[in-house]
Amino acid sequence: MSEPNVKEDHVKMHKEANAMFEAGKYKEAKEIFLRTAELYYKGQNYFDSTTMLYRAGECAFALKDYEAASEYFMKAAGQSFLKGFDRYGVSALEYARDCYTALKSKAKVKELNKKIKEVKAKLEASF
């Protein structure tokens, strides 16, 4: 049991989660990615928070837990769009769409295809 006064090291946790992911320990990695996402968010490091949510989604996807994966990807997309990481948000939406495809949720797939198309059009128009 850890001491309550000990501060969690989000950088160490980030690296540990990546190593677990690479070793195929997706369940363990997912839990650490989610906790690290919270810590980054509290520290106002929104990009790394978003990245950790995305990685948690990848873990859930690898575990074929498409419901959880879609939730993490959608949360990552939402944070991305709020903070101006639009291209990253599109990638998260595409992964969420893949989850809904696996879940055979045609309505959600259609909805996400529309959103992805809209965001990509907006991004292209800005260049």
Q: Residue 2 falls within a domain, yes or no?
A: no
Q: What is the mean pLDDT of the chain?
A: 93
Summarize pLDDT for 67-89 with one digit per residue, the tens: 999 999 999 999 999 999 999 99
Contacts of 62 (CB under 8 A, 6+ apart): 24, 26
Q: Residue 29 falls within a domain, yes or no?
A: yes
Q: Residue 71 falls within a domain, yes or no?
A: yes
Q: Residue 3 falls within a domain, yes or no?
A: no
Split at pLDDT 50, 70, 90, the class of 127 is low
Q: Residue 1 falls within a domain, yes or no?
A: no
pLDDT for 11 equals 87
Split at pLDDT 50, 70, 90, the class of 120 is very high
Per the structure, how many domains does the chain have?
A: 1
- Examine the pLDDT at 112 and tell me if it is beyond 50: yes
* Residues 116 and 96: beta-carbon distance below 8 Å: no
Q: Residue 97 falls within a domain, yes or no?
A: yes
Q: Report the CATH number that the domain containing residue 100 is assigned in CATH.
A: 1.25.40.10
Assign residue 24 a region (left: φ > 0; alpha: ψ between -120 and 50; beta: otherwise): left
Mean pLDDT, to the nearest integer, of 51-63? 98
pTM, to two decimals: 0.90
* Residues 75 and 67: beta-carbon distance below 8 Å: no
Q: Residue 26 falls within a domain, yes or no?
A: yes
Q: Residue 107 falls within a domain, yes or no?
A: yes
- Examine the pLDDT at 7 and tell me if it is beyond 90: no
Contacts of 108 (CB under 8 A, 6+ apart): 70, 97, 100
Its domain, for residue 47, covers: 10-125
